[in-house]
Amino acid sequence: MKLKTRLSNERGHADHGWLDTYHTFSFADYYDPAHMGFRSLRVINQDIITPGAGFPTHPHSDMEIFSYILWGALAHKDSMGNGRTLLPGQIQLMSAGRGVTHSEFNPSKTEGASLLQIWIRPRQRGLTPSYTEWHPDPAKENEPKVLVISPDGREGSATIHQEADIYRVRLPKGQSITHEVQTGRGVWFQLIKGSVTAHGSTLKPGDAFSTEDTGTLTLTASEDAEALLFDLA
């Protein structure tokens, strides 16, 4: 199986003072025509937000937007009436549809916060805006691969309007998992922490790989690892 790697130090980077962010794909002032997204996956930003700072109310449309909290907390408010504070390991997913406004802030006045903010194109435009969440199930904390987002909300996952299955991967050192890449689909693997080897490639935190080869993908942790795996139509 052939993998195409995207190394952490190759990503776009911007330091706004209150926000230190790395862009896996072209975003804002970072533009690279070779990295505009992968299938329906359009944005993966790794953000660090200073205490009390955040994104003031702003609009979105026709995009599935979710945040995976790495450390600290994130306070979300939107024009649908949702108000939540998300904690590490939790996910909030907003379908912007035909139009929504929202804000996201670090509610702590003393501690920073970090998250992955991810945008996926929906299967159709003009959908009714919606909001869904995924919280870790204590009974599944030790499972190496857990479904967190899917188009049908199965297994307690958050619901997305796209043919996308997204898994949280947690592997202790030395443990391996496999994932079947079906014909016509592609996988993007984004490593958050630790180290993982796969088919001759070794990834460190912030690194990623993609593949569109059909077959069995094998991942082995060379250090305790956490990642997101995107299986996309």
What is the per-residue pLDDT across 98-108, written as a single tens digit (0 to 9) for each? Answer: 999 999 999 99
Pick from 108, 117, 112, 111: nearest CA to 75: 108
Over the Cα atoms of the chain, what is R_g?
Answer: 17
User: What is the residue type of 9?
Assistant: N
Q: Residue 32 has what pLDDT?
A: 97
How far is residue 169's CA from residue 147's CA, in Å, rounded to a whole number? Answer: 9
Q: What is the pTM of this model?
A: 0.97
- Condensed to tens digits (0 to 9), the pLDDT of residues 139-165 reads 998 899 999 999 999 999 999 999 999
- As a whole number of angstroms, the distance between CA 127 and CA 105 comes to 26
Q: What is the pLDDT of residue 173?
A: 98
Under the banding of pLDDT at 50, 70 and 90, the label for residue 232 is: very high
Amino acid 35: pLDDT:
98
Tens of pLDDT, residue by residue over 19-77, are: 999 999 999 999 999 999 999 999 999 999 999 999 999 999 999 999 999 999 999 99
pLDDT band at 124 (very low <50, low <70, confident <90, very high): very high
Mean pLDDT of 212-222: 98
Average pLDDT, the chain: 97
Closest CA to 225 of 199, 196, 200, 201: 196
